[in-house]
Amino acid sequence: MGGAAVGESSDDRQPDVCGGVAGNARAGESGGWQAGEYSAGIHRTNGLGPNLAPGSTFTLLNKTSTGLITGTFTGKANNSTFTDDGCTFRINYTLGDGNDNVLTLLTTPIEQWRFTHYGSVLNTGTALDTADTDGDAVSNLLEYATKMNPAANDVVPQSATKNGSNLEYLYTKNKAATDVTLTVEWSDDFTTWSATGVIQALIPGSDNGVTQQWKATMPAGVNGRRFVRLRVTR
Ligand SMILES: [Ca+2]
Ligand SMILES: [Ca+2]
Ligand SMILES: [Ca+2]
């Protein structure tokens, strides 16, 4: 049983495991925690959080004696969440063998996608929404939204045809990308874009569990030409 990190003199009273400088996690001053009653859990490590797999857990405090932990980190009630250096965690004081202080890394769908492809959940560096690491002129955000491969030179799964007085634009949607909005816009001059008159519909039977095919229908216009684009926002 260590107990080294708890109750030692320190000005750091918040768990901080997602980057920054090294330091110890410890309880609040009035928590009634006794040094020696806990084994030290995790100490902050540079860049630790962003490179951990979604759902990773950290035991901050492993209470080795019986009974529940008394007190909480300031402003961090049991089962609440907080964000530190871009990483979101849930904090619990009753996990482990029932009385340990554990952090769980929570991730959004796009953070899970970043981790899968870039080994980091953060919107930085090669994992930036706007980055194009494979050089196919398609941003990470669009690669994600349309289930493309951000490590291969592939083309956006889309097509457009004229059907009578309408344009029909088909595209692929990544079902897991629940945190983005796909908007279809048109322009007659490549300068002003509009979503006016665009009707989107899921193509029946196109849902394969991973992707869906969507069709956007819009007037073909009267200028003899009309451009269509897919815009992804989150
Ligand atoms: Ca315990
Ligand atoms: Ca790309
Ligand atoms: Ca690509």
The residue behind tokens 């009267």 is 222
Residue 38 CA to ligand 1 center (angstroms) comes to 8
What is the C-alpha to C-alpha distance for residues 140 and 123, in angstroms, rounded to an integer?
A: 10
**Contact criterion met (CB below 8 Å) for 40 and 15:** no
Q: How many CB atoms lie within 10 A of CB 42?
A: 19
Residue 62 CA to ligand 1 center (angstroms) comes to 5
* Model confidence pLDDT, tens digit, residues 16-55: 555 432 333 344 333 344 444 444 334 444 345 567 788 8
* Model confidence pLDDT, tens digit, residues 126-159: 999 999 999 999 999 999 999 999 999 999 999 9
Give the ligand whose atoms come closest to the C-alpha of residue 153.
3
Q: Identify the three-state secondary structure at position 142.
A: helix
Give the ligand whose atoms come closest to the C-alpha of residue 64.
1
| Confidence at residue 49, expressed as pLDDT on a 0 to 100 scale | 59
Residue 212 CA to ligand 3 center (angstroms) comes to 18
Q: How many CB atoms lie within 10 A of CB 193?
A: 15
Residue 22 CA to ligand 1 center (angstroms) comes to 24
Residue 186 CA to ligand 2 center (angstroms) comes to 23
Residue 142 CA to ligand 2 center (angstroms) comes to 8
The answer on pLDDT for 7 being more than 60 is no
Residue 66 CA to ligand 1 center (angstroms) comes to 7
Residue 144 CA to ligand 3 center (angstroms) comes to 9
- For the domain made up of 158-233, give the CATH fold: Immunoglobulin-like (2.60.40)
Residue 154 CA to ligand 3 center (angstroms) comes to 5
Give the ligand whose atoms come closest to the C-alpha of residue 154.
3
Give the ligand whose atoms come closest to the C-alpha of residue 140.
2
Of the two residues 7 and 221, the one the predictor is more confident about is 221
What is the C-alpha to C-alpha distance for residues 81 and 57, in angstroms, rounded to an integer?
A: 13
| Confidence at residue 15, expressed as pLDDT on a 0 to 100 scale | 52
Domain boundaries, the chain: 1-106, 158-233
What is the C-alpha to C-alpha distance for residues 87 and 205, in angstroms, rounded to an integer?
A: 37
Residue 64 CA to ligand 1 center (angstroms) comes to 5
Give the ligand whose atoms come closest to the C-alpha of residue 150.
3
